[in-house]
């Protein structure tokens, strides 16, 4: 008779299984994360245009000193604050 080997069982502990499953998971970015990133890119490009060519595209589109221009600047600033918060949260979660 041929000897049959029993299938090997996965004998990892529960903790090891959790670590292995987390390694394959990706943290998905939320819609708010994508919006903040887009606003930061737009704001960064606007500042690059101001620095390089002395052209403020937000003021050119909405008018200098108008409430719409100020709202755009505030929203881009809030996106930056949100990104700081998100970065700090991600850095804190990597330490554990």
Query: 19-38 pLDDT, tens per residue?
Result: 555 555 556 789 999 999 99
User: Is the residue at 41 inside a domain?
Assistant: yes
Residue 63 lies in a domain: yes
Q: Which two tokens stand for residue 84?
A: 């700081």
Q: 13: Cβ–Cβ under 8 A, 6 or more apart, which residues?
A: none
Res. 92 pLDDT band, cuts 50 70 90? confident
Residue 96 has pLDDT above 80, yes or no: no
Domain residues for 88? 28-94
Alpha carbon 39 to chain centroid, angstroms? 12
Within-domain flag for 42: yes
Tens digit of each residue's pLDDT (9 = 90 or more) over 61-72: 999 999 999 999
Q: Total structural domains in the chain? A: 1
In a domain, 4, yes or no: no
Residue 53 lies in a domain: yes
Residue 77: which of 52, 51, 42, 49 has the closest Cα?
A: 42
* pTM score: 0.67
Distances from the Cα of 16 to the Cαs of 23, 28, 95, in angstroms? Answer: 11, 23, 18
- Report the 10 Å Cβ neighbour count for 96: 4
pLDDT at 40 exceeding the cut of 70: yes
CB-CB contact of 85 with 36 (8 Å) = no
């Amino acid at each position: 008779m041929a000897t049959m080997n029993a299938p090997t069982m996965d004998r990892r502990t529960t903790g090891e299984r959790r670590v292995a499953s987390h390694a394959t998971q990706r943290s998905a970015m939320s819609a708010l994360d994508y919006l903040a990133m887009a606003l930061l890119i737009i704001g960064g490009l606007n500042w690059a245009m101001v620095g390089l060519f002395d052209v403020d595209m937000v003021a050119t589109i909405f008018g200098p000193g108008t409430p719409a221009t100020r709202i755009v600047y505030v929203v881009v600033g809030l996106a930056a604050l949100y990104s700081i918060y998100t970065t700090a949260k991600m850095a804190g979660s990597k330490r554990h």
